[in-house]
Structure 1
Amino acid sequence: MGGNGKHRWKISFYRSNSGSKNPPKELLCPISGSLISDPVVVSSGQTFERLSVQLCRELSFSPKLEDGTRPDFSTVIPNFAIKSTIQNWCDHNNAQHPQPPDSIALEKAVRALMEKDMEDPGIRVSERELLRGMAERPPVRFMHAATELGRRVDHFYSSSSEESVVIPSASPPTPLPFATLPSCYSSSSSCEITAELQTLNLNSSSPGCEEEEQLMTKLRSSEVIEQEEGVILLRKLTRTKEELRISLCTPRLLSAVGSLVVSRYSTVQQNALASLVNLSLEKPNKVKIVRSGFVPHLVDVLKGGSSESQEHAAGALFSLALEEDNKMAIGVLGALPPLMHAFVRAESERTRNDSALALYHLTLVESNRVKLVKQHNAVPTLLALAKSPASTGRVLLILCNLASCNEGRSAMLDANAVEFLVGMLRRRTDLDSESTRENCVAALYALSHGSMRFRGLAREAKAVEVLCEIEKSGSERAREKANQLLMVMRGREDEPNWDSVLDSGAGAGLDPTRYRVVRNLHNANSTTF
């Protein structure tokens, strides 16, 4: 095959004696292209090299196969039949038995495939998630355009200032805040545009290409004062002339801004970040910005930037996380830990607010929920943070998302979240608004799905009396969720009392045709008893 091989991603570790046949395609790993030494079959039915699957899972990546599908790596089972077939083929064809692949070379191949996947304009980032199956879909679907924020059928609304919405569904519902603009967008700062800089020579009626040329001259200058004037001018233009945001969001301008986001000069960095926030407000720009490589820069700023730079970095990540196609990519690129840290530790209230909302939108994706729970042990931190009245509402939004996955429910039940939430409802003074109270009930409702432990924990916390009070005097949404929770507590008429059955050890005597527990297989509790 001609060419330099840049676009080839398969690597082969297979070596055979001269004259031996090429192995059948079904004996080769679809990722490494080599004979499989340790074959495993995954949930979607394909067989891979075990190390290939491990690397893909660690990188949260599902490659596109030749047939156009993407495998589901959630379950891995040894494939002894294929292993025996491979060994027999080698013996009959005078070929060496396959050896484990080189992990470094294989990781490079996987990363190259990831880069190609990100660069392909015909593939959206979220398609990897979509093809994992309906279980990967978040329980709430939301369009973030301003025109989509009106009332729609099957939505429940509260009248408080912290308005939120829940779509009833068979899956645990998730409350959704209406905020779609970062806090830092309208903030005044020490780097606000001065009268002198507003008088820069700029023809306000010129088309976007002329503005871009003027900006590029300054942004690419080696003089810091020119760079500073350029980013402040870009910040002003993208805030006061909304129609320019899309026309100015070009690859070369993004490249220039990216080099200044990491500037050592605080004024340059802060205004570059503020300009990025402005550009990110337009829906067509959001994926462009992520694919231009800004997320690692924003993560670095959150970790060690100045207070004002952190405000803009958190605001940018929140704005970018509103786009469905960006959610998984932002999580893969390492934004979850610094966002959690900023939510807990940041000096600025704007940084904490935008970090929380970024986490909320990122955890609408299953893979990010699992990472936050399993890799970053976020549940205890969030529950501790919820004790602060200033953070309660935002924490509950994230907890509702986490409670909609098996790992999140298990972690929250282990951390006594049921007792904690019931206690908050009992002490109504802890809740700063009616919608926060609603979200507290919604979090309990999400915990009740697919969990045999919930009912016992709720009884220990004396949840029935609290829920009965809410059913009488709460808002419409709170009353509905309280009613559903009480039904869970009381049990269905055709369902046995599993607590008493387990306590008495009488489970073996039940007639399976008479009693049937209805479960959502995707939401079954994973806790081991």
Structure 2
Amino acid sequence: MEFQEAVTRLMIQKTIEKGVIERHHTQAEKQKWKISFHRSSSSSKQKIKQSETPIEFLCPISGTLMNDPVIVSSGHTFERACVQACNTLGFTPTLIDGTTPDFSTVIPNLALKSTILKWCKNYPIGHPHNKATLDFFSAEKLVRAKILETQQQKSNPPKRNEDQDIGTGIHAVTDLITQTSGTHDSRSSYDSPLSTSPLQLKAQPSCYSSPSSSSTDIEILNPNPEEEEFVRKLKSPLVFEIEEGLISLRKTTRAKEDDTRLQLCTSRLLSALQPLINSRYTNIQVNSIACLVNLSLEKMNKVKIVRSGILPLLIDVLKGGFPEAKEHACGALFSLSLDDCNKTAIGVLGALPPLLHLLRSGDSDRTRHDSALALYHLSLVQSNIAKLVKLGSVPILLGMVKSGDMESRVLLILRNLALTPDGRAAMFDSGGVNALVDLLRGSELKSESTQDACVSVLYGLSHGGLRFKGLAKAAGAMEVLVQVEKTGIERTKEKIRRIFEMMETRTEEEEVLWEDLLEDSDSV
């Protein structure tokens, strides 16, 4: 009897190793049950997914497994959609450890993303992107809820422990994800490779306020009826209704009423405009960007527009949009570049190459004009100057000056480049001193402002030390500058006097060269 039981246990064990056990009941019961090794493994791994997910894989704001983790300036890691939602709503959360993150810079955490993917492959839970991941719209709802919760806690602090708070947050996110519609355009900039570049925005626009301010409450609880109607039309499945909404919005924002632009420049309206910017319909693409230009005219909207994630879409239009859409896109980047907080972000996201191309060979004068103005304001930042030099912009700009093509605008850009060592070196290598002296010597100068801009570039180059002195003397700059000083405006005369002082000043570089020369002669 014991021998038979042992044989039976051995047979069952071998059957389990193959993966399946099937046991038949008596014919009276007429039932069959099966034990699947694969199913038991799946249930155990499902338990791992729910209870043993590493805490560093979860976003501190949403509590869900991160699909696109990013590192912010304070060193914390969050889901990208949560950071974008916080920036859009001007909200800075307080984490469980009592610290507050700094969202001014966003850098993709590729190492953690790779680790999460490997971890997911080891367990049958799938890639987080294939699940109900937290998109921007769900994150925005979550952050809005957290803003209201924060305000309520300040008035009536809740009496509950941290574990309850974490669980409530996770369930809230799950509910929001379930309720979120999946009809949003897949071309959103949050999935664009360009959006992985860091956005170095170090200042908060004045239109933002603290999470407890009444303006945030108004946007959340009392939406503008006019904005609601525009958003409804822009999200319509009917093309003609979208066009009607855009034309109406363009007319409304064109009016010289700053309050109207401020009230309409909301995260919901900007999100509705995003998928329309890359539309295949000419009227939709043109009018959507024109609306964006009008909204950007208000100073308080400029940073908010950049933080909405619309910049990569505008840059795509610069590269391959309709001609009139390119024109408006250049105008939008020019308007957005007026805010110092946006200059670095625009350069980082890749706007400089297409702007330089459109400056040289744009479809219209307006496109080239706005491209030049955008490049001028962007070249006020050192990081953008370095990018322009690496792009080989100096020979292109000098070539335009020599040919008289938009020389007044191009000289403004060259003036900014001449203020940095990299820009000066590139201009020296490209024959910039000769080109500028020839421009001053010729009679084709059309205005005193152009003459002053040319002298300004030479003044920036005069800080180049001994190399500038040699190139200036070879080009006959002293004689030409003397003639310009007699007829130029006072501002131009002052710059020329400073150039003469730089030419006459003996630099340390010259002293070292003379000492080396004397030592060499003594040794001979």
Give the structure-1-normalised TM-score.
0.58
> Which residue of 2 is the match for residue 210 of structure 1?
225
State how far apart, in whole Å, the 1-side matches of 2:364 and 2:400 are: 16
- Counterpart among 235, 240, 254 of residue 239 in structure 1: 254
Distance 2:388 2:101 in 1: 30
Matched residues in 2 for 1:326 and 1:5: separation? 30
* 2:393 corresponds to which of 355, 378, 386: 378
Alignment of 1:486 onto 2:500: yes
Partner residue of 1:411? 426
Q: Is the 8 A contact 1:464 1:489 kept in 2?
A: no
Which segments of structure 1 move beyond 4 Å, counting only runs of 4 or more?
1-4, 30-33, 66-70, 106-109, 499-504, 507-510
| Residue of structure 2 equivalent to 1:309 | 325
Q: Which residue of 1 aligns with 2:476?
A: 462
Measure the CA separation in 2 of the matches of 1:107 and 1:378. 36
Is 1:501–1:507's contact at 8 Å kept on the other side of the alignment? no
Partner of 1:265: 281
**Alignment-derived partner of residue 5 in structure 1:** 58
Asked if 1:421 corresponds to 2:436, the answer is yes
* Contact 2:462/2:503 (8 A) holds in 1: no
Matched residue, 1:63: none
2:517 aligned partner: 505
2:373 pairs with 1:357: yes
- Higher RCO, Cα 8 Å, sep 6+: 1
- The residue aligned with 2:458 is 444
Which residue of structure 1 lines up, in the alignment, with residue 415 of structure 2? 400
User: Which residue in the other structure is 1:77 paired with?
Assistant: none
Decide which of 449, 469, 475 is 1:435's aligned counterpart: 449
Q: Given that residues 448 and 454 in structure 1 are in contact (C-alpha distance below 8 angstroms), is that contact kept between their aligned partners in structure 2?
A: yes
Query: Where do 5+ consecutive residues of structure 1 fail to align?
Result: 9-29, 34-65, 71-102, 110-115, 129-206, 511-529
The alignment status of 1:369 with 2:409, answered yes or no, reads no
Q: 1:328 to 1:437 in 2, by over 3 A?
A: same
Question: 1:468, CA displacement in angstroms?
Answer: 1.0
Q: How does 1:48-197 map to 2 (within 5 A)?
A: 105=111, 125-127=200-202
- The residue that corresponds to 1:250 in the other structure is 266
1:66-110 CA distance string (max 9 Å, x none) = 99999xxxxxxxxxxxxxxxxxxxxxxxxxxxxxxxx9527979x
Question: Is the 8 Å Cα contact of residues 491 and 497 (structure 1) preserved in structure 2?
Answer: no
Distance 1:308 1:455 in 2: 46
- Relative to structure 1, the CA distance from residue 507 to residue 231 in structure 2 (aligned partners, 3 Å threshold; closer, same or farther) is farther
- Whichever residue aligns with residue 496 of structure 2, its letter is A
Q: AA paired with 1:270?
A: V
The amino acid that maps onto 2:502 is: V
**How far apart, CA to CA, are the structure 2 residues paired with 1:469 and 1:342?**
36
Rg: which structure is higher? Answer: 2
Gaps of 5+ in 2: 1-53, 62-73, 78-98, 104-108, 116-135, 144-197, 204-221
Give the AA of the match of 2:473.
R
Contact 2:424 2:464 in 1 (8 A): no
Shift of 1:4: 5.5
Given that residues 334 and 370 in structure 2 are in contact (C-alpha distance below 8 angstroms), is that contact kept between their aligned partners in structure 1? yes
Amino acid at match of 2:394: V
Q: Report if the CA contact (8 A) 1:298-1:313 is conserved.
A: yes
What's the Cα RMSD here? Answer: 3.7
Deviation at 1:359, TM superposition (A): 0.5
- Compute the displacement of 1:32 (Å): 12
Task: String of CA shifts for 1:174-230, please: whole Å, max 9, x gaps.
Answer: xxxxxxxxxxxxxxxxxxxxxxxxxxxxxxxxx981211221121110000000000
Q: Which amino acid aligns with 1:498?
A: E
State the distance in 2 between where 1:490 and 1:255 align: 59
**In structure 2, do the counterparts of structure 1 residues 508 and 214 end up closer, same or farther at CA, with 3 Å as the change threshold?**
farther
